[in-house]
Chain A
């Protein structure tokens, strides 16, 4: 458990630092790469949370596909090599208090509701079979809905990106 705790804190620190860089860096491609770090960290956290399948899906979908899409998008919109000055808008000053207020509010709420409750020690890795039983059992309807969402997204993306 100690090893897991140490792992958690290291990964969490890296994730938070990377997330801050995502929203502050002045280079779009760098932001995307920092986001990769956050997502990889999240996948590691999922493994700590005994969710191997979700972690692998995270790597497959996010790092393998979504981030590549992002990089594609930035490159097709002529991301410059080097920094760009006009990535932030005039609400930048407003954003910091908003985020801080939300953080404080959530922090208070979390401390008051969970205190120092611990996660169960004897967690076994959730097997793929359990997940598939759930998906194709009680959660079948959302699964269907999701399929339609994906189909709609594919069609929509093609329609949007077509030239003619």
Chain B
């Protein structure tokens, strides 16, 4: 975005960036909630979902938000009020911090960190903090158990995620997300330039591990024990109501969107199309209209990935806490390590 807005004064740039960040977080979150949570889930259960608010219930989300905003902001009597109020905001802030490294086009980005992937993984772990203190400060046993479970799970799946990303980083030779996008779109598979080199093919295991880890990080079924409503009522969210619950709710789906964006950047070629289609060779050649087409391409890829996340969420029962940990430590991490090893050997050989 800096490249686009060179003439705009600094305060204007900052304002636009904040607005852009809000759009980049809230728009996917809203779309995901409507398309997948309201409609796809209902259709999978042979019903129509919300139909009353707006055509095909498209305004339902606003109705829900309005409802949540009206509700009383309840703080339990014995809770640690200040921390209790702070927790959801930490979770949402983590999402906003995450979105700033995602590139949406050749010049459409918020920040261009050299260590973009690393940064994304780092700030995504901040949300653990929010969840943990939400669970603790609610003064509720279910919340505490939920918070502890969430923290244990998020830490356990942080590791396979980092390791899965490592394969991509080795292949691309950079941690910068923009450069990873370019590397995928300028590369070639088996000598064919036309499809570029999306790492979903060469890093297939990495992709699968990454998606599983995302599923766990987002606490979606089959990894949703922290909020398991049939066991822990709602886990760390049990005591939250109104506005603060809404923040958790938005945070959940916004994070799903942002993680899917990062996955599409890492494995599906991000905002780009294979550069050979238009005869581009490097990022400098990319036409300016990609700044507008890019976000749309990105959005499509994101929706595709979220579709898979949600499809699995609506189909599977949940694992038990110890099975989840076992799966992470005994299944995903060794495979991820093996993947890194093979990738680096192949990288050196070829």
Binding site for B on A (CB under 8 A): 27, 29-30, 33, 36, 52-53, 56-57, 59-60, 63-65, 67-68, 71-72, 75, 79, 81-82, 125, 127-128
Contact = CB atoms under 8 A, between A and B. Distances in A.
A67 B129 contact: yes
A33 B83 contact: yes
Nearest to B86: A33
B158 interface: yes
B307 interface: no
Nearest to A30: B83
Given A29-B80, A29-B136, A71-B132, A52 B114 contact: yes
Given A57-B122, A68-B155, A72-B148, 15 more contacts: A29-B80, A29-B133, A33-B83, A53-B114, A56-B118, A57-B118, A59-B126, A60-B122, A64-B155, A67-B129, A72-B151, A75-B144, A81-B80, A81-B137, A128-B175
B129 A71 contact: yes
Nearest to A72: B151
Describe A's contact surface by its main secondary structure: helix
Top 8 closest pairs, chain A to chain B, by CB: A64-B125, A60-B122, A59-B122, A71-B132, A56-B122, A56-B119, A56-B118, A81-B80
Which range holds the interface residue count of chain B? 20 to 34
Contacts of A67: 129
Contact of A71 (B80, B122, B133): B133
Contact of B114 (A68, A72, A79, A128): A128
Interface of B: 78-80, 83, 113-115, 118-119, 121-123, 125-126, 128-129, 132-133, 136-137, 139, 144, 147-148, 151-152, 155, 158, 175
Given A29-B83, A68-B151, A60 B128 contact: no
Describe B's contact surface by its main secondary structure: helix
A27 B80 CA distance: 10
B129 A36 contact: yes
B266 to A, nearest CB: 17
21 contacts: A27-B80, A29-B133, A30-B83, A53-B114, A53-B115, A56-B118, A56-B119, A59-B123, A59-B126, A60-B121, A60-B125, A63-B129, A64-B122, A64-B126, A64-B155, A67-B129, A68-B155, A71-B133, A71-B136, A81-B80, A81-B139
A125 B78 CA distance: 48
A63 to B, nearest CB: 6
Given A30-B83, A59-B126, A64-B158, A71 B115 contact: no
Contact of B136 (A53, A56, A75, A128): A75
A65 B151 CA distance: 10
A159 B123 CA distance: 31
Nearest to A67: B129
B197 to A, nearest CB: 22
Nearest to A58: B122
Contacts of B122: 56-57, 59-60, 63-64
B118 A68 contact: no
B97 to A, nearest CB: 9
A70 to B, nearest CB: 10
Contacts of B148: 72, 75
A151 to B, nearest CB: 14
A76 B141 CA distance: 13
